[in-house]
Every structure is written in structure tokens, then in C-alpha cells.
Amino acid sequence: MVKICCIGAGYVGGPTMAVIALKCPSIEVAVVDISVSRINAWNSDQLPIYEPGLDGVVKQCRGKNLFFSTDVEKHVSEADIVFVSVNTPTKTQGLGAGKAADLTYWESAARVIADVSKSDKIVVEKSTVPVKTAEAIEKILTHNSKGIKFQILSNPEFLAEGTAIQDLFNPDRVLIGGRETPEGQKAVKALKDVYAHWVPEDRILTTNLWSAELSKLAANAFLAQRISSVNAMSALCEATGANVSQVAFAVGTDSRIGPKFLNASVGFGGSCFQKDILNLVYICECNGLPEVAEYWKQVIKINDYQKSRFVNRVVASMFNTVSNKKIAVLGFAFKKDTGDTRETPAIDVCKGLLGDKARLSIYDPQVTEDQIQRDLTMNKFDWDHPLHLQPMSPTTVKQVSVVWDAYEATKDAHGVCILTEWDEFKTLDYQRIYDNMQKPAFVFDGRNVVDANKLREIGFIVYSIGKPLDPWLKDMPAVA
């Protein structure tokens, strides 16, 4: 029986391994992590991450051919194929701080593999890593290997949170990069055979190692760039009276461009886009390509601009001050159908409003108060470290309350900011919300989910990103 071990039981390691276990009953899969609380949660009824469909997949295989454990050494030593899916945060100190990927966790995983292995292994990079990481890992493994042979493969993950299980069941492509030697190609074939249990052969792409590593960074940079492009247009739409939804539809019907990822919003978030672009920028700089680095940096700058532009709209509309005003924040996760708040634009928007002394009442159907308080007090990039290594912050932001209901959040508020596109925000009873708010009552829709015209009929002053402005907002300064 082929044995797979995955180091890192996070948003990627957990779902990918659960799907491999489901689709390959003849393979035994162990997911290991240094975080005891995470592994305990994977072994309980309350999984550590919320992802539609994940529960069902885990329940079908757990205890049969899918195991979650903190015994990293045992499962690594027994495995034929070891996936590494640990955090690769942005460095906060030293060379490349603020841009380069911190490979501390990757390196320690590689050292464990070298230390405990007693048989040849295929080591698969699942984490997103800088191009040429495989070479560094190869060096660590071969220098410590006591004659054991390792083949390194790059198999970046393209799943999107919120649709991870669907994406894994039916991927656009699976990408496998390996050495172009007979041993390298043999390893590529072994991993291909795993995916071939359910992925059609023509969707399993094989490349050299460096192409696979770089393709992941490139794909995320292209996706984020589309969002920054449409968001840049949204500012121009507001200035000219064009409607960004109409512009995006007209642009997206061009088959060369395509309709996806063209929704204007308060900005992109998630654990990957910013981190991976910063990493790409750093790699370009290290390779003497400052113009290319500058080009990609601009994608992040527009994203930051979009968030501060939103905050400025809120403050400017409300008589240039939100000091001591209650503002309801609906949605904190970086997108719907996930509880993940990593790099969510809500953090920057909330910090911006708190900077202007607002009182915030936050509601998100999947995010806990503890998480929101951590996010609002944590330093940039500290979030991307294993839980037990994150700074403990006993301080809470007093001007923030977290409630479990949109009506409670909006009661007596002066304004409502919609920051995540949860479906339930489309069908709220906005008349009831209006009746219980201070007047004039404002709605700032950072995701374009509400019917602005209906809300205006009720009496709200509405700001929708990239849409023709309410007369109220027209004369207000809004540029960041």
C-alpha cells in the first residue's frame, strides 16, 4: 500500500489530503502538524477550518485511510511520498524583510525528513515557494541523507478557499514539476498516478521544477492583477458616472479576456495574493529586474489605495468625522463561504475607521470575536505563523464589539459597511435596519451586494463601489 504523509494540516494540507484519501482508497494518508490544537480539531466534530463539503469528505475517510496526527517523525519515516504544506510567510526581519518568503518552517520540515527517513522518498512542495526552493531543499536533504535518495517535485496547489472541495474534485489542472532525469521523471509518474485516480490525464500538466514553482506565483499575480485592474477602473467610474458592473461585463464578454474575477470590491485579501506578489517582486529584484518588480508592486499599491479610498468615502460622507459614531461592519472574512480572515480588507478598513475614532460593531457569520480582536491587534505578517508561535495579545480593541446578528450590529448605527459578500446580506430586512438606525443612515457597500435603488427608496444614502454616485456623495472629497 502506498503511504502518503503531509506535513502541515492547514487550509491546503487538510482538504487536499482528505480528497486524495477519498479518491484513492488504496492509499493511506497521514496529515501531521506541530500544532496539537489543530490536530485535535481535525480529529473532532468541529474541524479547524470551515469549507463547504469538507466535513463529509473527512467523515467518510477518517480512521479508514485518513489519519491526523502530531507524530510527525513516525508518519514521515513510514511514507513513500511526503507532501510539505507548511506556512511560507513574508519575512518581517532581516534580508528581504517585507517581501521575501520566510522558509523557516519549510527548512525545519526538510530537516525532519532528512533526519527520520530510512527509505527513499519523493518530497512534494505543496506550499507556495520562491522559484529555486527545490534546489535548496535538495541540498538539505542530500547533505543529511545517509545514502537515502530523495526526489523533489513541485506540485503547487491552485484551490480557492470557499470552493476548495469542488476545486479539488474537478481541478482546471494539476501541475507537477520535476527534474528532467530518469529518476525525476519516475517520481513525476508516481505522483501523476495518484492524481490519475480522478483527474483526467490531459489536465495533469508536467513541467520542469522551476516552471512549476514560478507558475504558481505567476497565476496568483495574474488573478490579483485582474482585481486591481477592475478596482482601478472603479475609481474612474465613480469620477465619470460610468458603472463598473456594466464596464466589467462589456470587457469580460471579450473571449480573449473572459468574465471571471472582474468584480470591483473594497480589495482583495486572503493569505496568498499579497504574500505571493511580494515574493515575486523580491525575486525580480534579486534577478536584476527592477522594472518587472515595479510593475507587479503596483497591483498591491492599487489594492491598498482601494481600501483607503473606501475608508475616506465613509468618513467624508459622514460629515468628515466618524468620531464616537457607531459603524456596523457586516462581514469580516476575506470572502464569503470561509471563516478565513488572513489579509482580509476588513482589517485595514476597520483600522482606518478606528483611526478616526469610530465605534465598530462587527458581525460575520463565520468569524469569532477572538479572531477579530487578534486581527485588529496583530502586526503585519505575524498572522502567517503556526498558531502557537503567534504573539499572544492580551489587549483588546475597546471600541470594537463583535455580535452574532446583523440587526444587532446595525442597531443605533450611523452607517453600515458591507465588507464580505455573504449571501445573507442580500436578503436582510433593510427597512427594519433603517428604522433602527440613526439618521441620516448610510450604507457603504464594499462588495456591491445590495440593491442600491431599493435602499435609496427606503431612505438610505448609499455608496456602491464604482457605481454612479448618490448626489450626497458627489461633492465630498474621496481621493485617498
Interface positions with ligand NAI (CB under 6 A): 7-13, 33-35, 38, 72, 85-88, 105, 108-109, 127-128, 157, 159, 161, 271-272, 386
Q: Quick one: angle between helices 290-317 and 209-240, nearest 10?
A: 40
Cell numbers at residue 425, please? Answer: 446580506
- End-to-end Cα distance, the chain: 59
CA dihedral 178, 182, 188, 189 (to 10 degrees): 160
Nearer to ligand NAI, 23 or 75 (CB): 75
Are the CB atoms for 17 and 31 separated by under 8 Å?
yes
Our CA angle for 459, 464, 469, nearest 5°, is 75
The nearest distance, CB 161 to ligand NAI, in angstroms, is: 5
- CA dist., res. 191 & res. 178, Å (int): 10
The nearest distance, CB 205 to ligand NAI, in angstroms, is: 16
3-state secondary structure of 209: helix
Q: How does strand 461-464 pair with strand 326-330?
A: unpaired
Nearer to ligand NAI, 235 or 272 (CB): 272
Nearer to ligand NAI, 334 or 430 (CB): 334
Nearer to ligand NAI, 234 or 265 (CB): 265
Residue nearest to ligand NAI (CB): 10
Are the CB atoms for 338 and 51 separated by under 8 Å?
yes
The nearest distance, CB 280 to ligand NAI, in angstroms, is: 12
Nearer to ligand NAI, 35 or 154 (CB): 35
The nearest distance, CB 278 to ligand NAI, in angstroms, is: 12
Is residue 350 annotated as a catalytic residue, yes or no? no
Nearer to ligand NAI, 158 or 198 (CB): 158
Residue whose C-alpha is closest to residue 241's, from 6, 476, 471: 471
The nearest distance, CB 38 to ligand NAI, in angstroms, is: 5
Residue whose C-alpha is closest to residue 418's, from 293, 282, 265: 265
The nearest distance, CB 342 to ligand NAI, in angstroms, is: 8
Query: Of the listed 5, 24, 272, 417, which one is catalytic?
Result: 272
| CA gyration radius, the chain | 24
Residue whose C-alpha is closest to residue 446's, from 286, 204, 269: 269
Are the CB atoms for 453 and 425 separated by under 8 Å?
no
Are the CB atoms for 71 and 184 separated by under 8 Å?
no
Catalytic residues: 272
